[in-house]
Amino acid sequence: MALVETLYCKICTFPVDFCDYNKKATKCKAWLEENHPAKYQELYSNKENEDVDEKTKKVEESLKKMELRQEKKDKKELEDQQNSKIIIKTIERTKRKRSIEIQGLEVFPLNLKKLSKKFSNKFATGCSIVDNKLVLQGDLADDIEIFINQLLKEEAGLDDIKVEKVVAKRKKTEEELAAEAAAAIANGTSTAKYVKGDENKKA
């Protein structure tokens, strides 16, 4: 017995015979007519020429309302995504160690757990999820910005999403401030002497 290949709709992902029973039926039909006109004629030519009874009309009206609600929802989600901003924050842990926090990815149709693994594999570093933020070790802001734009385009079909890079400076310790003040005095670049307790006196 020959195998029958099932044609799946690219819009709703159902077999095309069942496109009528989902919220995107109109888009499904348009896609089928454009990409598989013979199958479209097979499924809908007779239906379009027949009188539809009252029950079928009510079902179609209900489906159209569902489609409209879904379209409005999709439109709002897209607007929210296009108006949102991703923040890549570089955090200074010590003089040499940096970590990165990525904020704002949760509004996009991306799985944060899968993203965490992709970032970890891409940059060969640990990547965790904290309060919907991805946290990585290393000074990688520029490379991460490029990778995020690539992911949004390939996986969500989105271009020109705002990405902002910021740096959170580490607060210096009293010992570091004292050392800097001493170095400045030794080099003759400062007339101020550092005194513990945040007091400055003229030399």
Question: pLDDT category, 2, cuts 50, 70, 90?
Answer: low
Among 175-179, 193-197, 198-202, top mean pLDDT goes to 175-179
pLDDT of residue 190: 53
Helix ranges restricted to H, 22-140: 25-35, 37-49, 54-83, 112-123
Residue among 163, 102, 110, 111 at smallest CA distance from 131: 102
Q: What is the mean pLDDT of residues 58-80?
A: 82
- What's domain 85-168's superfamily in CATH? SUI1-like domain (3.30.780.10)
Tally DSSP H helices, then E strands, for the chain.
6, 7
CATH 3.30.780.10 region(s) of the chain? Answer: 85-168
Model confidence, pTM = 0.48
